Amino acid sequence: MNKRKAIFKWYRMSVTDLIAHARKVVAGMTGNATYTTPAPTLAAITTATDELEAAQTAASDGGKELTAIMNARRDVLIDLLRQLCDYVNNVADGDEVKVLSSGFDINKLPQPIGTLPAPLKLEQVMGKKVKGLKVRWGRVYGSRTYLVQRAPYTPGLPYPTDEDYRDVATVTKARIEMEGLRPGTTYLVRTAAIGTAGRSDFSSPLQTIAL
């Protein structure tokens, strides 16, 4: 089961955004009956936020020393907020309402992927090192494996029916190399993507010639 949890993506925040986020968290947790003993304390977060804001104002005039002080105070606040984020997750224990009330951002739950589309862009790979048949296709997002089928074919005749195809292999990569075939023999090759919702339709068959 996927739990909701507080997240703190400090690496995406400017100093201004970090200050705003810290104040939002303090506001959310002040008087919040869920979080009775914040660790670190909200007073410590507020002090670190005020000090960072003052350092940011001072550093706006430039100078390496003032900028270094601002960066050091930024690191202090980040460390405190990371600790507080862990505290929130321990107390909330996956409860979405409790997490949201803390002022922290909340993680996104993975969305289930439905029925997958059939693979596209099947093509035969030619080359001196290929012995048999080598076929590749475009990857299908959400697929775990691919089922590959093959049927013998005489050019000019109607395409084989589904019953004429035989399973070759189930592969994890969007390619397959089939060996032990009679050179010059024509085959139709098709593949289907397999994901959490099951198997997709088969691709349009690719006419190939064994090398």
Query: Residue 85 is inside which H or E element, if any?
Result: helix 64-92
List pLDDT tens digits, range 51-81. 999 999 999 877 889 999 999 999 999 999 9
Q: How far apart are CA 206 and CA 183, in angstroms?
A: 17
Which of 1, 22, 27, 29 lies closest to 93, judged by CA? Answer: 1
Q: Could you tell me the pTM of the whole model? A: 0.56
Residues 12 and 100 placed together within one structural domain of the fold:
yes
Q: How far apart are CA 183 and CA 191, in angstroms?
A: 22
- Looking at 57, 78, 106, which one is the last position of a domain? 106
User: Which residues face 193 on adjacent strands?
Assistant: 146
Using CB atoms within 10 A of its CB, is residue 81 exposed (0-12), middle (13-18) or buried (19+)? Answer: buried
Q: What is the pLDDT of residue 172?
A: 95
Q: What are the distances in angstroms from CA 107 to CA 3, 80, 104, 140? A: 9, 20, 10, 26
Residue 57 lies in a domain: yes
Residues with Cβ within 8 Å of residue 3, at least 6 apart in sequence: 93, 94
Give the chain's residues under pLDDT 50: none
- Looking at 76, 106, 136, which one is the last position of a domain? 106
Residue 100 lies in a domain: yes
On whether the CB atoms of residues 168 and 151 are closer than 8 A, the answer is: no
| CATH code, domain with 159 | 2.60.40.10
On whether the CB atoms of residues 211 and 125 are closer than 8 A, the answer is: no
Residues 102 and 145 placed together within one structural domain of the fold:
no
Residue 43 lies in a domain: yes
Residues 145 and 175 placed together within one structural domain of the fold:
yes
- Looking at 74, 106, 138, which one is the last position of a domain? 106
Residues with Cβ within 8 Å of residue 102, at least 6 apart in sequence: 6, 25, 28, 29, 32, 34, 35, 88, 92
Number of domains comprising the chain: 2
Q: What is the pLDDT of residue 2?
A: 64
Residue 41 lies in a domain: yes
Residue 75 lies in a domain: yes
Residue 115 lies in a domain: no
Query: Residue 1 is inside which H or E element, if any?
Result: none
User: Tokens for 207?
Assistant: 């006419």
Residues 145 and 188 placed together within one structural domain of the fold:
yes
Q: What is the pLDDT of residue 1?
A: 52
What's at 71, amino acid-wise?
A: N
Residues 172 and 102 placed together within one structural domain of the fold:
no
Residues 132 and 192 placed together within one structural domain of the fold:
yes
Residues 99 and 143 placed together within one structural domain of the fold:
no
Residues 163 and 81 placed together within one structural domain of the fold:
no
Residues 139 and 180 placed together within one structural domain of the fold:
yes
Residues 145 and 198 placed together within one structural domain of the fold:
yes
Residue 175 lies in a domain: yes
Residue 21 lies in a domain: yes
Q: Which domain holds residue 172?
A: 123-209
